[in-house]
Amino acid sequence: MINYLRFRLIDLLRGTRSFRLYRELSVSQFKSQAEVASENNFRKIALLKLAAANAAVFQGMDSTDLVSWPKMDKDTVRSDPQGFINKNYRGRRFLKKTSGSTGAPFQFESSELAQSYLWACIYLAWSAAGYRLGQPVAFLAGAALFSNTWKHKLFYRLMNVYPLSAMGMNDDAIKDHCEKLVRKKIKVLYGYSTALHTMAQYVLQNPKAVNDHSLIAVMSTSENLSMIAKRDIQNAFGVRVFNQYGCNDAGISAFECEAGEGLHIVWDRCFAEIDADGHLRGTDFANVASFFIRYDTGDLATLSHEPCKCGRAWPRITEFSGRANDLVIDLAGKKFPGAYFSNLFIGSGVKGFQVHFDECRIKILFDNQGQPFEATRLLDRLKRDMSFEHYSIVEAPFVVQANGKRRYVIKMEAVE
């Protein structure tokens, strides 16, 4: 009861209703497929009618068939930000800023309902990993996941959340993080996949650092989780690693369930589709302050509407091929997603990698913690599969973005 009261107090202070939504979603996820599809279609039609009546760019749109509506992306919104605003919305507006995984700053207005869904979906994702409200959680991330304002510090205290900085992680910082995990009896470690992987590598070398830990799960978010990283994290902490995905501007939140056969999209909040180019697009039902319809997440994915063993009827993202701008394109025009490189390194023992390429060169940086590594086989594979003038595989530090995230594939002006 005390935990419930704490989460209700958070909503009162924040001006949201996340706790109530979380309880509703906990039931809704197990409705029949027919009920889920019907309710999603009802919300979709209502959203389209609302957008046509209240946003300048959608004036004259009288169709309730989503396919006939124009597609959007960040540049579309930047070109006419006021055109997507709901001129008659009277609720509280939340100004949201994101760099996403592209590093390109983006700002938009979000409604009270959308902000409520944001946290409700996070609670729901944690609960699929075994979390119960009020249990201690650690955030291993940068500013994209947590802030240091007094208000946020109060929220974290009420939620029993402990922020761990992913910025400038060295052995001393990771040792401190490990000590806090054990001391605070953290149940769920939630953070950027690359930061989690860095911490896991330290633990694998210093296994006593997390002796007697209380973790029940590790959850990766905000970045693609490579198979190499997932393996190392699971081996380091001895618990299952779950994947969680969120694109708040598109209204898409998805989480890995107990069955582990993809990430369930919270279907009460959005409609998701895959376009002809493989891009994941979302139509957000909750953000009625500004409208995001058929909005490009920038991610390449595969969807399934088939039933899941866990009993949830919500559709699943069954595969991520990486971000659309994470594709390596060679001289012959062939495209290689980030997953190609994950598969390339399976069984190699390499702890992590990053791909740099330009029009003529490709260079793969890897981390093997100074251990011997024979790159000849991988170079031969690259030369067979790709068309570049120059290929190299070297052990070197990775490029990390200002927000603490690390992209796996980076297109550069010129590769050195």
Both 358 and 262 in one domain: the answer is no
CA 298/CA 170 separation, integer angstroms: 31
Q: Residue 26: pLDDT band by 50, 70, 90 thresholds? A: very high
pLDDT of 77 reads 93
Both 283 and 380 in one domain: the answer is no
pLDDT of 352 reads 76
Tens-digit pLDDT profile for residues 370-403: 777 788 888 998 999 999 999 999 888 888 776 6
Contact 10, 3 (CB under 8 A): no
Which residues are bridge partners to 217 per DSSP?
Answer: 188
Closest CA to 317 of 263, 270, 255, 277: 263
Both 333 and 224 in one domain: the answer is no
Q: Does residue 116 fall inside a structural domain?
A: yes
Residue with tokens 């690693």: 241
pLDDT of 321 reads 72
Q: Which residue has the higher pLDDT, 122 or 336?
A: 122
Residue with tokens 């761990």: 164
Q: Residue 102: pLDDT band by 50, 70, 90 thresholds? A: very low
DSSP state letter for 413: S
CA distances in angstroms from 416 to 141, 357, 372, 388, 392, listed in the order given: 30, 9, 23, 14, 10
Domain end point (choices 289, 320, 351): 320
Tens-digit pLDDT profile for residues 265-295: 999 999 999 999 899 999 999 999 999 999 9
DSSP state letter for 399: P
Q: Does residue 28 fall inside a structural domain?
A: yes
Which residues are bridge partners to 282 per DSSP?
Answer: 272, 295
CA distances in angstroms from 291 to 15, 247, 287, 298, 303, listed in the order given: 21, 14, 6, 18, 23
CA 242/CA 3 separation, integer angstroms: 24
CA 6/CA 9 separation, integer angstroms: 5
pLDDT of 147 reads 63
pLDDT of 101 reads 47
Min mean pLDDT across 236-240, 282-286, 338-342, 364-368 is at 338-342
Both 310 and 376 in one domain: the answer is no
Q: Does residue 146 register a pLDDT over 60? A: no
How many structural domains does the chain have? 2
Q: Which residue has the higher pLDDT, 79 or 320?
A: 79
- DSSP string of 273-287? EE-TTSEEEEEESS-
Element (H, E) at 340: helix 338-344
Question: Considering the chain, what percentage of its residues have pLDDT values greater than 90?
Answer: 64
Residues ≥6 apart with Cβ < 8 Å to 403: 99, 103, 142, 143, 144
CATH of the domain at 167: 3.40.50.12780
Angle among Cα 96, 41, 82 to the nearest 5 degrees reads 30
Phi, psi of 386 (to 5 degrees): -120, 160
Q: Does residue 103 register a pLDDT over 50? A: no
Tell me the mean pLDDT in the region 50-55. 97
Which residues are bridge partners to 188 per DSSP?
Answer: 137, 217
pLDDT of 117 reads 97
Domain end point (choices 320, 347, 375): 320
Both 38 and 177 in one domain: the answer is yes
Angle among Cα 197, 247, 131 to the nearest 5 degrees reads 60
Both 380 and 265 in one domain: the answer is no
pLDDT of 400 reads 76
Min mean pLDDT across 129-133, 233-237, 299-303, 331-335 is at 331-335
Both 159 and 223 in one domain: the answer is yes
Domain end point (choices 320, 336, 354): 320
Residues ≥6 apart with Cβ < 8 Å to 357: 328, 363, 388, 409, 410, 411, 412, 415
First vs last C-alpha separation in the chain: 59
Both 258 and 398 in one domain: the answer is no
CATH of the domain at 362: 3.30.300
- DSSP string of 169-201? --HHHHHHHHHHHHHTT-SEEEEEHHHHHHHHH
Q: Does residue 416 fall inside a structural domain?
A: no
Both 163 and 31 in one domain: the answer is yes
Question: Considering the chain, what percentage of its residues have pLDDT values greater than 70?
Answer: 92
Both 37 and 96 in one domain: the answer is yes
Which residues are bridge partners to 303 per DSSP?
Answer: 317
Tell me the mean pLDDT in the region 17-33. 96
Tens-digit pLDDT profile for residues 104-143: 567 899 999 999 999 999 999 999 999 999 999 999 987 5
pLDDT of 193 reads 87
Both 315 and 332 in one domain: the answer is no
Tens-digit pLDDT profile for residues 158-201: 999 999 988 778 899 999 999 999 999 999 999 988 889 989 99
Both 304 and 353 in one domain: the answer is no
Closest CA to 245 of 258, 264, 226: 264
Q: Does residue 2 register a pLDDT over 70? A: no
Residue numbers of the domain that contains 140: 2-320
Q: Which residue has the higher pLDDT, 101 or 75?
A: 75
